[in-house]
């Protein structure tokens, strides 16, 4: 019997394959750069390059797949025409943003004029332009003064937050009603009690993505919420760790006490979407979540509990309620050839009409106080009032140049506590040592 061999077509060799692959790659690379070149050259316009997250994370008007209204898109086109500019977006999935901008900044090559940031302004402050003082005073006065805390480093305001994105408590009203629970938890004791009561029949009282360790939205930043509710803070006035105390231990203990009533998969959920999927499927009663999740949580196409979602102030700890800021901001790079035009683009993003459209069409709340209080915004985004009220309480995200390293170190220790491998006091002590070592290298 003749044995079959692998068939290789004639004329195909390693050399011909390498040649063809190289030509194809070069062609693709050239084609990918064509739109910006062609547009700018053909129309003799200035090209503004912007690095932004891909939808559903906050995208500005003009980004493919962004869900802004036709009026807003038309206004964006009109802005480009009026400023003789073409805005070329590079929208990437949120988890890839930090790596991309780190590589871009390290290269020293001009790649973008406007860059989205989320907790990274202190880290990349040396690559950014402090432009906030050049913004119109009417605009600045319409922004919460506290919103500049996360984009200010070394006394320089390097960016402007464009959405009020604070963690609040989302809850399943139907699960509450079924158990006769009349209102969301007001404090830690009620949170524990309700979570326990609703944990049964394969459903859980609480869910969060404790698998993510880095940056905003990681397990460390969830602990920041409880830490501030306990009256604690991460650093003292000298920038040294200041949480090896009762507030630090109590806040971590609270998270540990919630674990028996927390979806056990939480330790494996590396993205907020993983946890939100459980919540939206009706398998968990409560979670901390960002305001933008309000729309999809109430969308029948993506949620099994549409119309049954409630938003509430985060339960108060010994010192009251607290939250953290998503710190979504726009910045201008030092390599931008026309920083003034880049600033004007950011002013467009902060225009009241665009901010209103951002809220109503995309679910990302506005940062302008006048727009936040607009009745139409509050009607469409029923959680806007809750977020506004949450903003009356502390929401420090403790961003520093080594924010990612600090949060990874803290998160890894917290995971050990949440899985029962060490107690709260030991965990807090370990965290203090590791953060101290990082701060020492900060210099």
Residues binding other proteins (CB under 8 A): 1, 3-6, 98-99, 102-103, 105-106, 108, 123-124, 126-127, 211-214, 263-265, 267-268, 270, 278, 281, 283, 334, 402, 404-405, 408, 412, 415-416, 419, 421
| Radius of gyration for the chain, computed over Cα atoms and rounded to the nearest angstrom | 24
Phi, psi of 441 (to 5 degrees): -75, -20
In the complex, the smallest distance separating the C-beta of residue 105 from other proteins, rounded to whole angstroms, is 6
Going from the C-alpha of 74 to that of each of 79, 114, 219, 284, 408, the distances in angstroms are: 9, 21, 40, 41, 42
Q: Judged by CB, which is closer to other proteins: 271, or 296?
A: 271
Is the CB of residue 373 less than 8 Å from the CB of residue 161?
Answer: no
Q: Judged by CB, which is closer to other proteins: 126, or 246?
A: 126
CB-based contacts of 413, cutoff 8 Å, min separation 6: 422, 427, 430, 431, 434
- 234: tokens are 């991460």
Is the CB of residue 364 less than 8 Å from the CB of residue 436?
Answer: no
In the complex, the smallest distance separating the C-beta of residue 415 from other proteins, rounded to whole angstroms, is 5
Q: Judged by CB, which is closer to other proteins: 59, or 209?
A: 209
In the complex, the smallest distance separating the C-beta of residue 120 from other proteins, rounded to whole angstroms, is 10
**Alpha carbon 130 to chain centroid distance?**
22
Q: Judged by CB, which is closer to other proteins: 56, or 317?
A: 56
Q: Judged by CB, which is closer to other proteins: 190, or 402?
A: 402
In the complex, the smallest distance separating the C-beta of residue 150 from other proteins, rounded to whole angstroms, is 19
Q: Judged by CB, which is closer to other proteins: 270, or 319?
A: 270
> Rounded to an integer, what distance in angstroms lies between the CA atom of residue 296 and that of residue 284?
16
- 66: tokens are 């962004």
CB atoms within 10 A of CB 205: 27
In the complex, the smallest distance separating the C-beta of residue 392 from other proteins, rounded to whole angstroms, is 33
> Rounded to an integer, what distance in angstroms lies between the CA atom of residue 69 and that of residue 55?
15
In the complex, the smallest distance separating the C-beta of residue 213 from other proteins, rounded to whole angstroms, is 6
> Rounded to an integer, what distance in angstroms lies between the CA atom of residue 167 and that of residue 117?
17
- 73: tokens are 């898109």
Q: Judged by CB, which is closer to other proteins: 70, or 106?
A: 106
Is the CB of residue 358 less than 8 Å from the CB of residue 68?
Answer: yes
In the complex, the smallest distance separating the C-beta of residue 81 from other proteins, rounded to whole angstroms, is 34
Is the CB of residue 258 less than 8 Å from the CB of residue 195?
Answer: yes
Is the CB of residue 172 less than 8 Å from the CB of residue 279?
Answer: yes
In the complex, the smallest distance separating the C-beta of residue 274 from other proteins, rounded to whole angstroms, is 8
Q: Judged by CB, which is closer to other proteins: 24, or 281?
A: 281
Is the CB of residue 151 less than 8 Å from the CB of residue 158?
Answer: yes
In the complex, the smallest distance separating the C-beta of residue 25 from other proteins, rounded to whole angstroms, is 12
In the complex, the smallest distance separating the C-beta of residue 185 from other proteins, rounded to whole angstroms, is 23
In the complex, the smallest distance separating the C-beta of residue 371 from other proteins, rounded to whole angstroms, is 35
At 148 the three-state DSSP class reads: helix
The string of DSSP letters for 376-426 reads: HHHHH-TTHHHHHHHTTS-------TTHHHHHHHHHHHHHHHHTTSS-HHH
Q: Judged by CB, which is closer to other proteins: 9, or 108?
A: 108
Q: Judged by CB, which is closer to other proteins: 187, or 433?
A: 433
CB-based contacts of 401, cutoff 8 Å, min separation 6: 122, 123, 125, 153, 442
Side-chain-side CA neighbours of residue 266 (13 Å): 30
Q: Judged by CB, which is closer to other proteins: 118, or 229?
A: 118
């Amino acid at each position: 019997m003749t044995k079959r061999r692998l068939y290789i077509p004639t004329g195909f060799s390693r050399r011909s394959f390498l040649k063809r692959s190289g030509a194809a790659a070069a062609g693709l690379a050239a084609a990918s750069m064509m739109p910006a070149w062609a547009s700018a050259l053909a129309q003799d316009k200035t090209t503004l390059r912007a690095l932004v997250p891909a939808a559903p994370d906050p995208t500005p008007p003009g980004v493919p797949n962004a869900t802004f209204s036709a009026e807003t898109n038309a206004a964006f086109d009109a802005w480009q025409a009026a400023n003789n500019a073409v805005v070329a977006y590079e929208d990437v999935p949120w988890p890839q943003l930090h790596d991309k901008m780190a590589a871009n900044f390290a290269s020293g090559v001009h790649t973008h004029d406007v860059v989205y940031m989320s907790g990274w302004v202190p880290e990349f402050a040396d690559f950014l332009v402090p432009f906030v003082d050049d913004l119109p005073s009417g605009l600045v006065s319409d922004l919460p003064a506290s919103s500049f805390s996360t984009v200010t480093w070394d006394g320089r305001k390097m960016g402007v937050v464009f959405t009020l994105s604070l963690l609040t408590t989302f809850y399943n009203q139907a699960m509450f009603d079924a158990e006769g629970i009349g209102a969301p938890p007001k404090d830690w004791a009620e949170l524990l009690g309700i979570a326990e009561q609703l944990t049964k029949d394969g459903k859980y009282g609480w869910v969060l993505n404790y698998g993510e360790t880095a940056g905003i939205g990681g397990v460390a930043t969830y602990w920041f919420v409880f830490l501030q509710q306990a009256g604690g803070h991460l650093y003292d006035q000298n920038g040294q760790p200041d949480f090896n105390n009762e507030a630090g231990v109590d806040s971590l203990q609270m998270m540990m006490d919630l674990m028996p009533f927390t979806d056990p998969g939480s330790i494996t959920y590396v993205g907020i979407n993983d946890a939100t999927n459980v919540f939206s499927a009706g398998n968990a009663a409560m979670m901390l979540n960002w305001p933008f999740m309000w729309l999809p949580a109430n969308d029948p196409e993506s949620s099994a509990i549409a119309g049954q979602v409630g938003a509430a102030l985060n339960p108060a700890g010994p010192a009251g309620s607290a939250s953290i800021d998503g710190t979504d901001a726009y910045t201008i790079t030092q390599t931008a050839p026309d920083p003034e035009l880049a600033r004007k683009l950011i002013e467009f993003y902060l225009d009241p009409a665009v901010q209103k459209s951002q809220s109503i069409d995309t679910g990302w709340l506005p940062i302008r106080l006048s727009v936040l209080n607009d009745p139409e915004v509050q009607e469409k985004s029923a959680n806007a009032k809750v977020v506004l009220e949450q903003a009356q309480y502390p929401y420090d995200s403790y961003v520093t140049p080594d924010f990612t390293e600090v949060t990874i170190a803290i998160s890894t220790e917290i995971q050990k506590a949440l899985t029962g491998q060490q107690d709260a006091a030991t965990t807090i002590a370990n965290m203090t040592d590791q953060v101290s070592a990082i701060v020492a290298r900060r210099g």
